[in-house]
Chains A and B, each alone.
Chain A
Amino acid sequence: MRRNRAESDANHTKLTRRAALLGGAQLLFMGGLAARMRYLQVDQADQFRLLAEENRINIRLIPPARGEIFDRNGLRLAQNVPSYRIVMVREDAGDAEAVMDRLGQIITLDPETRERAMAEIKRSAPFLPVTIVDDVSWDDVSRVSVNAPALPGVTPEVGLTRVYPRGSDFAHVVGRVGRVSQADLDALEDPDQVLRIPRFQIGKINVEARREDILRGKAGTKQVEVNATGRVMRELSRREGEAGKDIQLTVDANLQQYVQARLSEESAAVVVIDCENGDLAAIASAPSYDPNLFIGGISSKDYNPLLESKYRPLVNKTVQGTYPPGSTFKMMVAMAAIEEGIIGPDETVYCPGHLEVAGRRFHCWKRAGHGWVDLENSLKQSCDVYYYDLALKVGIEKISAMANRFGLGIKHELALSSVASGLTPTKSWKRETRGADWVIGDTVNASIGQGFMLASPLQLAVMSARIATGRAVTPRLVKTIDGVEQPSGAGEPLGMNENNLRKMRRAMFEVVNNRRGTGYRSRIIAEEYRMAGKTGTSQVRNITAAERARGVSRNEDLPWERRDHALFVSFAPFDKPRYAVSVLVEHGGGGSTAAAPIARDVILQALAGGEPPLEAYPSADRGRIKTQQRKLREMQPQAAINGNDQA
């Protein structure tokens, strides 16, 4: 490849010219850099030297005050209170060991705390305050202050900590905060700087965790001058943070308190939902625990019993627990069949006490059978055969689809942790998860809310509210954020035949108010409060043929873990539904005996807005109710004193 010499030279001249141009530009830029360097280092040197020579700028975070949580009437459920801690600055203390000894004589210091504090004091810079004890009482603070001359370098400091004045009543609603753990930080993509503040509190579960974004607020910053060793000399500037926003819940604290007390140590759950707007007036899971124990880190002495109890106090049974809905599911089967036009509300089915399906005999709970029953009678007496028959005709797909429309098998969005979606099985679901085909017996089991069917107490309450109103009522837990009302859960009409719904409600009314109804013993006498409902008893064990031959064992004879779950769903007043209530008592036995009375008491309490008049109860029960009310009154004052400060 031979090139023309002249061309080559011309090329090189051009290259030289452009190289000189680019080189010149580079030198010019370097000149600019030099000028900038001179400006920073010579012209502005005095200013920067001032900032850096003796004193350096250091930026400190000011933790934001966490938003508080209120109930629907403005009662405080979570608040910030000052907490005191004792700190020591090593260089001021001189002989830290000796000062610590003297401190130990004034306030109680267990050896473990003392050792940990000493280790930290030795580790950190001499001018940095080290916390010796957290959460000390005001008495201790004053004792330390009075003895200040004998305790050089020791000072009490104040900070904010979270307190739950309602104690265990709201552990499963408001939740709790705790120190930021490494796991919390790892879970976040871009952790806020404020989380790195020692002792900063972050929401751990339920509303505190789910609405952390609203409650936390934004950290402020202050620029402080620190000298060469890092000691704060003075504050230069301050940029105020933003306090977290307050949240108001839909829950009525007094009702919630009543419900928790009524359930006391029973392993049970109650959900009270406002039919008009979906507001959760109470959402109680028992037994509960005191969230205040967790704030500074819970001791294993307190924690182990919670963890090991067979009543599982740490589990939120209202939304997290799912149970076979038992007979409370029968409304869904009937609605599916009636809406499909397979059977009219007044048409009858014959119940001989059992039904033969594919060579297997499915029993009604009443061995002798109910004879000819229509919708109202079948629901009232909770006849099983009627629903077996309907389910076989309408099929599982339509039943599950109907249940979904009533809020079962779908996840309701609430600001609570681990909200379960329950299960409304379908043929494809079984094939995918179990690898087996749907068999006809599965449909029969599902028709009485057994087998694969699972629902949470929250979903059952939603179902009752939807039956009561005919609207797609959705539960709402957060009423306002920073004073702004959140969207209502009133919902659109479900689009069901109103006549069919009315028949269904009437049948539920009969369950409770007809002498032969399964819920008759828990009826409400007062005309304006009358209740409609449905009992449910769901088996947690299989009844073997041998057992059946011997006669099915009575629940009371079984160990607790094998007893049936008791359920009850209801709404009241019947004429103008205001509240829908679902009750679940784990291994409580029968729905009519264990769950229905609780629902009645709760609904009366909610409707009467306080202690209901005795006249609302059937006269035979009044004596027993009176005793019960007195007992509950005795339990309550303690909680009431803790937190009756109106916001």
Chain B
Amino acid sequence: MSYLEYTVKSVPSGFRKILHLNWPLTLLLASVCGIGFLMLYSVAGGSFTPWAEPQMKRFGLGLALMFAVAMIPIWLWRNLSGLAYGVSLLLLVAVAVLGEERKGSQRWIDLGFMDLQPSELMKITLVMFLAAYYDWLPAKKVSRPFWVLLPVMIICVPTVLVLQQPDLGTSILLLTAGGGLMFLAGVHWAYFAAVIASGTGLLTAVFQSRGTSWQLLNDYQYRRIDTFLDPAADPLGAGYHITQSKIALGSGGWTGRGFMQGTQSRLNFLPEKHTDFIFTTLAEEFGFVGGFSLLALYAMIILFCVVTAILNKDRFSSLLTLGIALNFFLFFAVNMSMVMGLAPVVGVPLPLVSYGGSAMLVLLLAFGLVQSAHIHRPR
């Protein structure tokens, strides 16, 4: 059903919108962020600086942003999605040209008060644009080759740009989220089967090409895969992260050592302890119970999103909500797999918990969209 078909009258307006916010979802998001503050406080050795305090400020800003976004009718966002995608794409190009290089990759643009990572923004705008695309596209055209190729292009252009930075983690996320959205929109399953088959072929090619002149990945990426397969081979270099993070995780046990009692992560055994590897601190200090609780919170967020999406009769809203949920899922699934030694170290933060401005703001903004879809749903 399209918005033109129902009466705008039944949609709440003005301050009444606040009552119609999805408050349980807001509460869940706030609790996850709260866990993040606790962990950042603990990692810093019981101090709000240098991480917990700025993170809290950003959370405040993000929350305000989320509410602001939620107040704006979802159809306006749909109409803006093309523009948003275009701007993100331009920013990605800009960062490739004049971005700042850090830790060997180019990802940031300095905005003065904070650093912007356009690839973060792209994760959301890509989903928005695809959702708008499938909202517009008549259902019978969805599986026609041309109309399948178009979204594939929409996904691949930013993915390649991000891969150039090089940021393997984010490009995998973009690709999977985009593919997931196409799946949700009802593209015929045979396409996915074909992609998975050729993907397997490509993966074989990647490994076959190693050491030859047409080698497909950077050496450091091969090394990371090697380390994943056999972390013991390079205990000082790449394998160090995984080995240490498993020790920290495992030593947590059922209930953990207690708040601020984790030693592994705080004694600098782990690098990136406040960003990508923050989950180890949680798991060490609060044990399986703590780790599982966070996982449960995440699961509930996903569940809430899926349920509101299914209940929402507007196609754009449903797709957008599911796409954002999928993105969110990919974030923590990749991060947790990495920390638990199930996936190579690709540098994906734990959503809403890891220290980092861009990621948190963008995620809260995305959930603002989810809220807007919920408030302005057709009734």
Contact = CB atoms under 8 A, between A and B. Distances in A.
A42 B252 CA distance: 9
B5 A33 contact: no
Interface string A34-55: 1011101110110111011100
Interface string A423-459: 0000000000000000000000000000000000000
B326 A42 contact: no
Contact of A41 (B2, B4, B186, B291): B291
A357 interface: no
A10 interface: yes
B283 A41 contact: yes
A7 B5 CA distance: 14
A46 to B, nearest CB: 9
Contact of B319 (A15, A42, A230, A239): A15
Interface in B309-342: 309-310, 313, 315, 318-319, 322, 326, 329, 333, 336-337, 340, 342
Given A14-B186, A38-B288, A22 B180 contact: yes
Contacts of B180: 22
A150 to B, nearest CB: 35
Given A19-B318, A37-B283, A59 B306 contact: no
Contacts of B4: 1-2
Interface string A8-37: 101110111011101100110110011011
A285 B302 CA distance: 76
A51 B240 CA distance: 15
Contacts of B1: 3, 5, 8
Given A15-B184, A56-B264, A45 B253 contact: yes
Contact of B340 (A30, A40, A53): A40
A547 B184 CA distance: 97
Interface in B49-84: none
A3 to B, nearest CB: 6
A57 interface: yes
Contacts of A3: 1-2, 5, 138
Given A12-B315, A22-B180, A37 B291 contact: yes
Given A33-B333, A56-B264, A223-B235, A26 B302 contact: yes
Contacts of A20: 306, 310
A223 B139 CA distance: 61
Contacts of B252: 41, 45
Contacts of B23: none
Contacts of B379: none
Nearest to B249: A40
A228 interface: yes
Residue among B240, B252, B295, B322 having the largest count of chain A Cβ atoms under 10 Å? B252
B251 A51 contact: yes
B326 A22 contact: yes
Contact of B292 (A15, A37, A53): A37
A61 interface: yes
B236 A48 contact: no
A23 B295 contact: no
Contacts of A221: 235-236
B251 A23 contact: no
B246 interface: yes
Residue among B248, B283, B288, B295 having the largest count of chain A Cβ atoms under 10 Å? B288
Interface in A461-495: none
A40 to B, nearest CB: 5
A16 B311 CA distance: 9
Nearest to B322: A19
A309 interface: no
B183 interface: yes
Contact of A18 (B186, B251, B264, B313): B186
B253 A11 contact: no
Task: Name B's interface SS.
Answer: helix
Contact of A15 (B235, B295, B318): B318
Contacts of A49: 250-251, 253
A589 to B, nearest CB: 57
A228 B291 CA distance: 24
Nearest to B294: A37
Given A15-B315, A30-B333, A61-B236, A52 B250 contact: yes
Nearest to A27: B299
B237 interface: yes
Contacts of A8: 1-2, 315
Nearest to A17: B186
A627 interface: no
Contacts of A37: 249, 283, 288, 291-292, 295, 336, 340
A193 interface: yes
B247 interface: yes
B254 interface: yes
Nearest to B181: A22
Contacts of A38: 288
Nearest to A38: B288
B183 A18 contact: yes
Contacts of A48: 246-247, 249-251
A29 B250 contact: no
Given A15-B315, A52-B248, A59 B235 contact: yes
Nearest to B1: A8
B129 interface: no
B258 to A, nearest CB: 13
A193 B240 CA distance: 13
A7 B299 contact: no
B192 to A, nearest CB: 11
B236 A47 contact: no
B235 A56 contact: no
Nearest to B314: A12
B98 interface: no
A11 B1 CA distance: 10
A41 B288 contact: yes
A40 B250 contact: yes
B184 A22 contact: yes
A461 B329 CA distance: 72
Contacts of A23: 302-303, 306
B250 A41 contact: yes
A602 B306 CA distance: 91
Contact of B250 (A1, A26, A47, A230): A47
Residue among A14, A47, A48 having the largest count of chain B Cβ atoms under 10 Å? A48
Interface in B1-53: 1-2, 4-5
A41 B295 contact: no
Interface string A68-101: 0000000000000000000000000000000000
B228 interface: no
A618 to B, nearest CB: 64
Contacts of B322: 19, 22
Contacts of B251: 45, 48-49, 51-53
Contacts of B253: 41-42, 45, 49
Nearest to B219: A190
Given A1-B2, A15-B185, A44-B250, 16 more contacts: A5-B1, A12-B318, A18-B184, A22-B184, A23-B302, A26-B302, A26-B326, A30-B299, A33-B333, A33-B342, A36-B342, A38-B288, A40-B250, A41-B291, A45-B252, A56-B247
Closest 7 CB pairs of A and B: A48-B250, A52-B251, A41-B288, A23-B306, A45-B253, A48-B251, A14-B186
Interface of B: 1-2, 4-5, 138-139, 180, 183-186, 235-237, 240, 243-244, 246-254, 263-264, 267, 269, 283, 287-288, 291-292, 295, 298-299, 302-303, 306, 309-310, 313, 315, 318-319, 322, 326, 329, 333, 336-337, 340, 342
16 contacts: A2-B2, A2-B4, A8-B315, A18-B183, A18-B186, A19-B184, A22-B326, A33-B336, A36-B340, A41-B287, A41-B288, A42-B254, A44-B250, A49-B251, A52-B248, A53-B251
Interface of A: 1-3, 5, 7-8, 10-12, 14-16, 18-20, 22-23, 26-27, 29-30, 33-34, 36-38, 40-42, 44-45, 47-49, 51-53, 56-57, 59, 61, 193, 221, 223, 228, 230, 239
